[in-house]
Chains A and B, each alone.
Chain A
């Protein structure tokens, strides 16, 4: 019953969205405002109908109705209500339904009221993308397929995915990915309507900040999950699935800078159009890669037929937007003249080039097996060292820009006053970097630290300067709200870079075999196995250990576990390692219980990761900065 309601309302939603798209096209041709309103109502009805549909799936998952195939595949009797609910986006069909629902909400509320000029055209673009997704779930990958067999238990959710980070992570990435559609539709709308002003940039701003923030949260949660759950001590592996999520983020970051230049100085008009198009394509391309099975990843997604539809969709959108770009690009001509090389605009251009280089590097690394197989017939991959070799100098250059560009004026900048301004932070940074060098002895790390600390101190210096000025002019921080949001993000990114550098250069790994009550020294640490225990619950056997790690006079007790599930069901795995981590600011102690030896001793692995905390703290600060940017309009009205 509920299943049929969901299925029918999904179909109705597709039909209504189709009508809406058709009427938007009519209103564009006839330049009719009334038709726009009619189309908007159809869009609303479509959204309403889709909401009914997604609620139906939600109910089916919660009550565990095993007559629905999607429920069978993603839920099981022992699955908690929370994870049953989040199974909505655990499978292909459900996640596409959620995708369509979020998209329809975005397209519905993205009304550029002040901008009648680009209104129907940008809505056409948005509605078109929506219709594509609704078509996919209505006819190709429906979540409402049923089975006639009597099924009493479903496949359930893999235990390593039963983690709170992993249940929010896809949702956050979706929110970010999908909201890229809106700036894309504004850009395309402006292009189709030959509106060469920077209005589309202004109304896109909130969407792009929103998108950036949620993509960041998604990436952060994903790497946090990998760190806690996968048991290899790392947070990033340059896996194709990770890469495709990173690429739109990189381009969006570039866009945030270059669109700022257009907003302030009316430059880079064409470039911004191309950039937002590219970011949107890469987000769709990423979805295509992860779901078509084209590239083998450690996160394997089995082959599915929807890849072909995505490829057709991408090619269609690509041709369509390029066609309009070459037809109308003359309306987008930047007249502003930039006087000197060291102006903010030019630094943004360099920034964009560097971000584009990283994106291309990541893209090339991701599709390398396909290209090589096509050319040589052999499947060849590039290892993680590829990304590290190329990205290291790139990050250094970006840090260099980051230390200079915030203090450069627009148009007619001179580098000397900025260098003078940076001299004190630079000298302080040298001292700090030397101190770090005496501990870590790596010239690469020295360079990273030198630049990172220069950026940090210069930003703090600027902030202190403004605090003093505040005595005269109380509004100064409000006036510079946007500037300070970007500073917060920069501070976070710099801390993140430092965390990544320290933890990847100086990770220590040890293998350890301990019997009960035995203790061993590794480096300055003393590791003692206090006791082990075996427990049995309804679903699993647990082997656990209590381990005491002493470092100087500090003591930490860790409790790693090894779970063996009693029934495999359709989980495909029955073993689960529970890593135990003790995090301090300076280092993480990361302990894994591998197994029990024949002779009753236990094998452990211990990783000591220095300053990983900076990575999480930095990401968190950046995300706060992103959130604050979103609320800018209300405070300063700019």
Chain B
């Protein structure tokens, strides 16, 4: 019986340790997922200490390739837009009109992206296309 109790204490310690760790890890890795208009509505002070992930449509003809390999573009959503600067891997599917997700910091005027995603095309369904056909 003593063994059982010891095992339970040990199990409890492990679980307590990891619960604490999970709690801490969540705090340090939060990323706020917002749309363009939501970000623009936030106070600058809120945006300044938040890691943001913003989703929007890449505005037509807004992509500019710089000579240092970085790019600038605008993403828009319900009439609002954000100016984005990014340096890094550009996904193949990234271009005008796609849904892009950028992650990084926003200082009120320029969004400095550390990551850029574009929606991956492994689509199982495409409602619009289906409507077109039937």
B contacts, CB < 8 Å to A: 3-4, 6-7, 10-11, 14-15, 17-18, 21-22, 24-26, 28-34, 51, 53, 55, 65, 67-69, 87, 89-93, 95, 98-99, 101, 117, 119-127, 129-130, 133-134
Main secondary structure of the interface of A (DSSP, over half): mixed
Q: Is the CB of B31 within 8 A of A383?
A: yes
Contact with B along A321-364 (1 / 0, CB 8 A): 00000000000000000111100001001100110010011001
A contacts, CB < 8 Å to B: 69, 72-73, 91-92, 95, 145, 147, 149, 151, 155, 158, 160-161, 231-233, 291, 296-304, 338-341, 346, 349-350, 353-354, 357, 360-361, 364, 368-369, 378-386, 389-390, 393-394, 397, 511, 513, 570-573, 575-577, 592, 594-595, 597-598, 603, 605
Cβ contacts under 8 Å, B29 to chain A: 382-386, 389
Determine the distance from Cα of A302 to Cα of B123 in the docked complex, in whole angstroms: 6
Please tell me which one of the listed residues B25, B55, B65, B129 contacts residue A73 in the complex, with CB atoms under 8 A apart: B129
Determine the distance from Cα of A364 to Cα of B99 in the docked complex, in whole angstroms: 26
Please tell me which one of the listed residues B4, B14, B26, B92 contacts residue A231 in the complex, with CB atoms under 8 A apart: B92
Determine the distance from Cα of A233 to Cα of B89 in the docked complex, in whole angstroms: 10
- Min Cβ gap B4→A in Å is 8
Q: Is the CB of A301 within 8 A of B10?
A: no
Q: Is the CB of B7 within 8 A of A346?
A: yes
Chain A residue nearest to B133 in the complex (CB) = A147
Determine the distance from Cα of A378 to Cα of B34 in the docked complex, in whole angstroms: 8
12 residue pairs A–B, Cβ–Cβ below 8 Å:
A160-B92, A232-B89, A291-B124, A300-B119, A386-B25, A386-B26, A389-B24, A390-B22, A511-B87, A570-B126, A575-B95, A592-B89
- Min Cβ gap B118→A in Å is 8
Q: Is the CB of A597 within 8 A of B67?
A: yes
Q: Is the CB of B67 within 8 A of A598?
A: yes
Cβ contacts under 8 Å, A350 to chain B: 10-11, 14
Determine the distance from Cα of A339 to Cα of B31 in the docked complex, in whole angstroms: 48
- Min Cβ gap B41→A in Å is 12
Determine the distance from Cα of A95 to Cα of B122 in the docked complex, in whole angstroms: 13
Q: Is the CB of A92 within 8 A of B31?
A: no
Chain B residue nearest to A607 in the complex (CB) = B89
Q: Is the CB of A573 within 8 A of B30?
A: no
* A353-B14, A390-B25 as given contacts; A570 in contact with B7, CB under 8 Å: no
Q: Is the CB of B123 within 8 A of A301?
A: yes
Cβ contacts under 8 Å, A570 to chain B: 126, 129
- Min Cβ gap B88→A in Å is 9
Q: Is the CB of B11 within 8 A of A304?
A: no
Please tell me which one of the listed residues B3, B24, B28, B89 contacts residue A605 in the complex, with CB atoms under 8 A apart: B89
